[in-house]
């Protein structure tokens, strides 16, 4: 079967986060065959996952492999989403749910421990830094290489990066 890429979901109710993530994925991180979907609440994440699991595993199907979730979202918070997604995947016979990254301003140890116990693989403090997101994406195998945005901008202008 031809590799048609993956689907990545970014969920955050803050417009500036969606705009920043979109800029990073469109200019720095996105592979040609991947699709990034941006949503603003936890219920939308759950609906997308449910719909994705209903699609046949052939043709142009793009499995959801990464979910970047805010904790404080309308409808369902990030941890509620993770719990429901895992239940949804297991009830559909999927062996592995997507990789979960929590994107939040809450960096307290008790919160991190709770997230880890529920299956969060990585954390990024808001606002996420390009280098931190690149490190997470590289570590998880979501991207193969990373070139900082400032280097890309310099190449486009014919300027040598610092």
Q: DSSP readout, 122-145?
A: EEEESSPPHHHHHHHHHHTTS-S-
Q: Where are the domains of the chain?
A: 7-157
pLDDT of residue 108: 87
Reported pTM: 0.84
pLDDT of residue 9: 93
pLDDT of residue 162: 46
pLDDT of residue 54: 84
CB 17 within 8 A of CB 70: yes
Say which DSSP state 27 is in.
I
Best CA proximity match to 48, nearest among 20, 33, 68: 68
Q: What does pLDDT average to in each consecutive run of 10 residues of the chain (162 residues)? A: 72 92 82 81 94 74 88 91 94 89 87 89 86 86 76 53 48
pLDDT of residue 150: 57
The neighbour count for residue 9, using CB atoms within 10 Å, is 23
List, for residues 116-156, the tens digit of each pLDDT value.
Answer: 898 899 888 888 888 888 888 888 888 877 877 655 454 55
Q: What is the rounded CA–CA span in Å between residue 105 and residue 154?
A: 31
pLDDT of residue 44: 95
pLDDT of residue 100: 94
* Tokens linked to 68: 């970047």
Sign of CA dihedral 125, 15, 144, 161: negative
pLDDT of residue 32: 62
Look at the domain 7-157 and name its fold.
Rossmann fold (3.40.50)
pLDDT of residue 63: 85
The neighbour count for residue 25, using CB atoms within 10 Å, is 21
pLDDT of residue 1: 43
3-state secondary structure of 10: strand
């Amino acid at each position: 079967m031809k590799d048609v890429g993956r689907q990545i979901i970014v969920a955050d109710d803050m417009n500036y986060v969606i705009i920043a993530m979109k800029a990073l994925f469109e200019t720095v991180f996105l592979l040609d065959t991947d699709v990034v979907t941006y949503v603003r609440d936890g219920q939308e994440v759950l609906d997308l996952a449910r719909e994705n699991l209903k699609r046949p595993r052939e043709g142009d199907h793009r499995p959801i492999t990464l979910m970047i979730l805010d904790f404080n979202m309308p409808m369902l918070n990030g941890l509620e989403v993770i719990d429901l997604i895992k239940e949804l995947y297991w009830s559909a016979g999927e062996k592995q749910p997507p990789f979960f990254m929590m994107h939040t301003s809450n960096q307290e140890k008790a919160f991190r421990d709770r997230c880890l116990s529920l299956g969060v693989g990585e954390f990024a403090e808001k606002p996420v830094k390009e280098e931190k997101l690149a490190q997470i994406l590289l570590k998880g195998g979501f991207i193969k290489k990373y070139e900082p945005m400032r280097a890309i901008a310099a190449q486009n202008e014919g300027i040598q990066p610092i």
